[in-house]
């Protein structure tokens, strides 16, 4: 196994130009992912995690979106420099993507089988018959019962969980090296959620693909990911292995997120929350973007933006107060 990461995002900046103003949705985001690993990208709504994952597919709508800097290297090639035609070969081919909304992510006027076959014929140039067989095989692989007849069903004939299985089959149809899953289980109920996560883990092991799992759910991260990137207001604030992050969170925001996870058995009291809201992308903030909500913030935090610094091997954090004690 080589040690160059499969995917390396470096200092990515994405802006949206809306009505004369420039809003930075994502700034200075760096992350890396090796084959066969699962990387969790965590954060609240609006923290830039979806923009980051769409950027890897180069699917941020342009305009108003605009890649303002950085690089996204996939197998050593900078995706931001590829032509649209080269990019199309990667999309759905070497990089598959699953979206949050299984109810609406499939086209209602084509059968599930036809939608998978379309992707196969575009990328692998399979004959109709071969594409059909492969689509049925994929539907079987993702655990749909009687896949041959399911392939002739329209999306509205399936449940949400079944549709998400179809989406996974679609994303994996061309054996991608990288699977990006943007909140794949958020719209599903808890039992289906567990099934889908198990399925993704199983398929990752079988295909050796790398998975980038975007979620706001720390429980999902703990269950499935090798490494975690915590994002806040368009930036990476903490990066660590899952074990290190959960045993020794270093950014006050990560600590707050963990405290906000409901736990069975701790019946007493209200669920902890982080006061305040994420600053909007157009807010001009001189210092740390979390300072206004941070219990540990000092004048230094409000004045100067902390850089990402390595605390321990593989564990970086962007906080002036780090390392913080576990009691914090």
Partner 1 sequence: MLTQIANRLLISIPVLFGVLLLGFGLLILVPGDPAIVMAGPTATPDVVEAIRQEMGLDRPVLVQFFSYLGRVLQGDLGRSLISNKTVVSELLAAIGPTAELMVACLVWSVPLGIALGTLAAVYRGSLIDRAVMAVSVAGVSLPIFFICLMMIHFVGVQWRLLPFIGRGGPLWTVEGLRHIALPALSLGAIFIGPVARMTRSSVLEVLKLDHVRTARAKGLSETRVILKHGLRNALIPVVTLIGLQAGYLVGGAVVTESIFSYPGIGRLAVGAILSSDFPLAQGAILILALGFILINMVVDILYALLDPRVQA
The SS3 call for residue 49 is helix
Residue from 255, 325, 252 nearest 295 by CA? 252
Least distance (Å) from partner 1 to the CB of residue 61? Answer: 9
Q: Which is nearer to partner 1, 59 or 328 (CB)?
A: 59
Q: Which is nearer to partner 1, 157 or 298 (CB)?
A: 157
The residue whose two tokens read 């701790």 is 266
Nearer to partner 1, 144 or 288 (CB): 144
Nearest-approach distance from CB 210 to partner 1, in angstroms: 17
Min dist. Cβ of residue 233 to partner 1 (A):
24
Nearer to partner 1, 84 or 299 (CB): 84
Q: How far apart are CA 116 and CA 137, in angstroms?
A: 11
Chain positions contacting partner 1, by CB under 8 A = 57, 59, 88-93, 96-97, 99, 101, 104-109, 118-119, 122-123, 154, 156, 167, 170-171
Q: Which of 138, 130, 201 is nearest to 165 (CA)?
A: 138
3-class secondary structure, 39: strand
Strands 178-182 and 95-98: parallel
**Closer residue to partner 1 in complex, CB, 155/249:** 155
Cβ 98 to partner 1, closest distance in Å? 9
d(CA 228, CA 17): 30
| Residue whose CB is less far from partner 1, 108 or 269 | 108
Q: What letter does residue 155 receive in the DSSP assignment?
A: G
| Residue 82: DSSP 8-state | S
At its nearest, how many Å lie between partner 1 and the CB of residue 182?
10
| String of DSSP letters for 198-248 | HHHHHHHHHH--EEEEEES-HHHHHHH-SEEEEEETTEEEEEEEHHHHHHS
Q: How far is the CB of 250 from partner 1 (least distance, A)?
A: 35
How far apart CA 140 and CA 179 sit, in angstroms, is: 19
Looking at the Cβ atoms of 118 and 140, the one nearer to partner 1 is 118
Residue 50 CB contacts under 8 Å (≥ 6 apart), including other chains = 182, 183, 214
Minimum distance from CB of 202 to partner 1 (Å)?
22
């Amino acid at each position: 196994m080589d040690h160059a990461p499969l995917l390396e995002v470096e200092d990515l900046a994405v802006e949206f130009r809306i009505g004369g103003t420039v809003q930075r949705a994502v700034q200075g985001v760096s992350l890396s992912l090796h084959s066969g690993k699962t990387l969790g990208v965590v954060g609240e709504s609006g923290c830039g995690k979806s923009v980051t994952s769409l950027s890897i597919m180069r699917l941020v709508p342009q305009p108003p979106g605009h890649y303002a800097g950085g690089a996204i290297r996939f197998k050593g090639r900078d995706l931001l420099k590829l032509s649209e035609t080269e990019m199309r070969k990667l999309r759905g081919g070497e990089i598959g993507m699953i979206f949050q909304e299984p109810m609406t992510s499939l086209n209602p006027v084509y059968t599930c089988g036809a939608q998978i076959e379309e992707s196969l014929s575009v990328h692998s140039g399979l004959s109709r018959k071969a594409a059909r067989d492969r689509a049925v095989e994929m539907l079987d692989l993702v655990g749909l019962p009687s896949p041959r007849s399911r392939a002739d069903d329209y999306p509205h004939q399936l449940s949400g969980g079944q549709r998400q299985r179809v989406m996974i089959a679609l994303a994996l149809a061309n054996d991608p090296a990288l699977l990006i899953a943007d909140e794949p289980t958020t719209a599903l109920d808890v039992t289906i959620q567990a099934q889908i996560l198990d399925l993704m883990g199983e398929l990752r092991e079988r295909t050796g693909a790398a998975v980038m799992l975007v979620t706001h759910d720390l429980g999902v991260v703990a269950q499935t990911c090798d490494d975690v990137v915590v994002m806040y207001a368009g930036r990476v604030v903490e990066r660590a292995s899952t074990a290190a992050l959960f045993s020794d969170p270093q950014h006050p925001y990560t600590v707050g997120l963990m405290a906000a996870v409901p736990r069975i058995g701790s019946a007493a009291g209200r669920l902890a929350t982080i006061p305040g809201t994420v600053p909007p992308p157009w807010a001009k903030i001189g210092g740390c973007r979390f300072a206004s909500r941070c219990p540990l913030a000092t004048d230094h935090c409000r004045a100067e933006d902390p850089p990402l610094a390595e605390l321990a091997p593989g564990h970086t954090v962007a906080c002036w107060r780090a390392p913080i004690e576990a009691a914090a």
